[in-house]
Structure 1
């Protein structure tokens, strides 16, 4: 989905989607999910390679230089907020590391 929903409307929206999905035939849902996964998920080997590269990137000097500021932000904002706005907080950490 590519849609925004106001916070006050989110629970109702999600509940409506869940209710609609629960009313569908289970076999049809499974078949649709398989079709989406076939078109959107990379092969397992690609996922493992991407994860390995990500873990390796954490040792790069540029990333290491940001970690103290990023850890400070994580303590202040919490991990959920950091994950939701990762790019924003990486930018702040980069500015503070200069």
Structure 2
């Protein structure tokens, strides 16, 4: 399943969905990727750590997760977070072309190839559940509540500077024990 991001500069709710997709394409001009959870006070859940580590490698996954920084499409492409950064005006046609091409190939060959690649590269359900359990444990903490409250006061999850520059906003929050 290919995924593309073009119109909005940030869509927080799509982070884990993006990581679970088979291929990812993003608008060079508009896409911003990031994992803000550690900046709020919890590790990413829902398999994000598993997927990011496999996609980016250990060092880059640590950079993305531990810094809670924003990554533009060009850097995300260089890191392997997305397959390709494409000019926004060409993105929909590009992704549609890939889907059309793949749809013409023999189904059994597609299934066999994808199954083999998945067996090598995807986390187990137990690994994803472990990430989710740790996230659920930490997200209930007072530090997370404090940091989330401060972000909402700054305009978190509303159209504006905090949402468009979340990585910077997270870096500017006060330290919490």
Tell me if TM exceeds 0.5. yes
Deviates more, 1:34-43 or 1:19-28: 34-43
* Count of paired positions: 90
Q: Mark the CA change 1:66 to 1:15 in structure 2 (over 3 Å): closer, same or farther.
A: same
Report the aligned-residue RMSD.
2.4
**2: CA distance, partners of 1:62 / 1:53:** 15
What residue in structure 2 maps to residue 77 of structure 1? 159
The corresponding residue for 2:137 is 56
Q: TM-score, normalised by structure 2?
A: 0.44
Greater share of strand residues, 1 or 2? 2
Q: 1:7 aligns with which of 88, 93, 99?
A: 88
Write the distance in 1 (CA, Å) between the matches of 2:88 and 2:98.
16
CA displacement 1:21-51 (0-9 Å, x = unmatched): 1011101111111112111211111110111
CA drift of 1:63 comes to 1.8
Higher helix share: 1
Higher RCO, 1 vs 2 (CA within 8 Å, ≥6 residues apart)? 2
Report what 2:172 is aligned to: 95
Listed as ranges, the gaps of 5+ residues in structure 2 are 1-81
For the residues of structure 1 that align with 2:92 and 2:110, how far apart are their CA atoms?
22
CA spacing shift, 1:77–1:93, aligned 2, 3 Å: farther
Unaligned runs of 5+ in 1: none
